[in-house]
A and B are shown apart, each in its own frame.
Chain A
Amino acid sequence: MGKNRAFDVTTLPGFTAIAILAFVLLYAPIVTLVVYSFNGGNSVNLWGGFSLKWYKIAWENEAVQGAAVRSLIIAVWASVIATSVATLAALGTTRRKRFRGQTFIYVMINQPLMVPEIVTAVALLIFFSSVKLATGYSGLGYLILAHSAFCVPFAYLPIRARLEGMDTSMEIAAADLYATPWQTFRHITLPLLMPGVLAGAMLAFVISLDDVIITEFVKSAGQDTLPTYMLGQLRRALTPEVNAISTALLVLTVLILTAFFIITKKRG
């Protein structure tokens, strides 16, 4: 794409400075979060000396660990499902002649963005409860389904943004060379689309991790996620235990990603 040889066309005045500022701002609260996970006191904002006690408490607390693991399981499922259906939908609604119902599809896909969470939450509470009563199944499936649904627009929009204006000449060339539609998609379209899919999947993942209200209303017995576990504490007092578990998750993330990069680098 020719960006490597250009030496200064890619820089715009002030952009790098603002970008670095943005990174600093992003990490400032995270630093305090990590610092307070080592708080010896009982509070999330009153320093009581350095201590690892909250790590010990979190380590011994199966409820908070279970909640963290549950959050991750739901987020993985939801982002995979949401990104898959969103990729298909983006392919179906971009780069083709306008067709009847296209606007309808667009509106439907973006609908979860348009109402506050509490509304979807109440609607799902009523709907899923009757399904739970009718089927007797009350597993994590409902939460995964609900999360997948509200993650769809977050995955769809970046993929669509990537797809729009991505020209079709490569795909046409492939088709001219008798590639099947699947081969064309697999070897041409998907690789070109990948940055969009990656962006969409990452958004879907963090959006699922964040969700509080819908989860609070859809969850069954024993299905607290980390956010609903915290919501329950909000009214009374939060303890640095959640800081500890969040820090542990962050470290885990960074480790996995680093390992991933080292492995792929060796291979490449």
Chain B
Amino acid sequence: MKSMLIATTALFGSTLSAFAEGQLNLFNWGNYTSPELIEKFTEETGITVTITDYDSNTTALAKVEAGGSGFDLVVPSANYVPVFVGKGLLAELDHSRLSNIGNIAQEWVDVAWDPGRKFTIPWQWGTTGVAVNTSVYGGDVNTSDIFLDPPAELVGKVNVVPEMNDVMALAIFNAGGEACTEDLEVLKKVRDKLMAAKPSWIAMDYGTTDKLSSNDLVATVNWNGSTMRARLNNPDVVYGYPVEGYPLWMDSVGLLADAQNVDEAYKFLDFIMVPENAAMISSFARYANGIAGSEEFMPQEMKEAPEIVIPEEFVSAGKFLPTCPQSATELYTAIWTELVK
């Protein structure tokens, strides 16, 4: 009934309700925001949070760039943060209003995409690797050859998530290149590798958690948190860290330049930097956050999960993806388009 009321007020008096005192509009990936976190925030501050979902960085960017939708906070991936900043869509943060800014773990402060955290606060970070069902393939899983040159058992069974940046990075690392390379020789190798591998893929699809759990997929390029969720359902699933190199990613919260509820937004940003609260974000979506001291508030199963805690020997293979120059992006898009069509 209450939601009916809310919807009706939204219909007739939305300008009033959307920008009223004590409101906050968070624009975030779907199924990514812990409901308990929001509940706690509302209890502590009296601010009502409205969450609106998006399903890709590009949609979020297009909508924010067009403007007028009334969002206050957005959660772009690392390589999109400079794009948002470059287009003037994010407001520079006033650190004096963020008493918990010191809680950001040291390694997440001077990040390439936002040096000194001038624009964004860490939300969650993770890795992109491969997930394999060991009952089907018992060999080495710590290689991107799982999808680029699949072993016989996996031919015709591999799924690849349709994320251009992640997949291109894995393939470039596999071919011995650097992230954002514009070296045509490397890229040609990348293209040929991908094109040769495509016939042994079964799909390029999301929804890997469920399908790994139910054995509908036995191998896929996947994110670590999703693989952990699948493993909890299906113990045969393991996560592989490709030794050739694999991408690290982080989604960070930024304050939009045209935000209406700036005070509330600052309160929220400060709130999520409290270790206990950051741990709530992580326990919900199963990815690590960037807040020092949050580990102790996390559930036991996450503290020792091999998907979340990167094993020592694979740490060095993880590389952050910088925002590539437009010229490199154009090359990658061309290869990607050729691949997916």
Contact = CB atoms under 8 A, between A and B. Distances in A.
B29 A236 contact: yes
A231 B53 contact: yes
Interface residues of A, number: 49
Contacts of A69: 3-4, 7
Contact of B210 (A43, A222, A223, A224): A43
A45 B53 contact: no
B214 A46 contact: yes
A63 B51 contact: yes
Given A125-B66, A231-B53, A65 B30 contact: no
A195 interface: no
Interface string A126-170: 101111110011111100000000000000000000000000000
Contacts of B29: 232, 235-236
B31 interface: yes
B30 A234 contact: yes
A237 interface: yes
Contact of A229 (B6, B30, B71): B30
A122 interface: yes
Nearest to A228: B53
Interface string A213-231: 0001101111110001111
A74 to B, nearest CB: 9
A233 interface: yes
A232 B53 contact: yes
A123 B206 CA distance: 27
A128 B14 CA distance: 15
Contact of B62 (A63, A217, A220): A217
Interface string B53-73: 111100100110011111110
Interface string B1-34: 0111011101111110010000001010111100
B226 A73 contact: no
Given A62-B3, A235-B30, A236-B226, A229 B68 contact: no
Contacts of B69: 129, 132, 138, 219-221
B214 A45 contact: yes
Contacts of B12: 139
A222 B207 contact: no
B207 A220 contact: no
B318 to A, nearest CB: 21
B316 interface: no
Nearest to B2: A62
Given A65-B3, A140-B14, A233-B30, A217 B63 contact: yes
A44 interface: yes
B311 interface: no
Return the 9 tightest CB-CB contacts between A and B, nearest first.
A232-B30, A232-B53, A132-B68, A139-B14, A129-B66, A221-B25, A222-B50, A66-B3, A221-B70
Given A139-B10, A217-B62, A232-B55, 18 more contacts: A43-B210, A45-B210, A46-B233, A66-B7, A73-B8, A129-B69, A131-B68, A137-B15, A138-B70, A217-B63, A220-B14, A221-B50, A221-B72, A222-B50, A231-B53, A234-B30, A236-B29, A237-B207
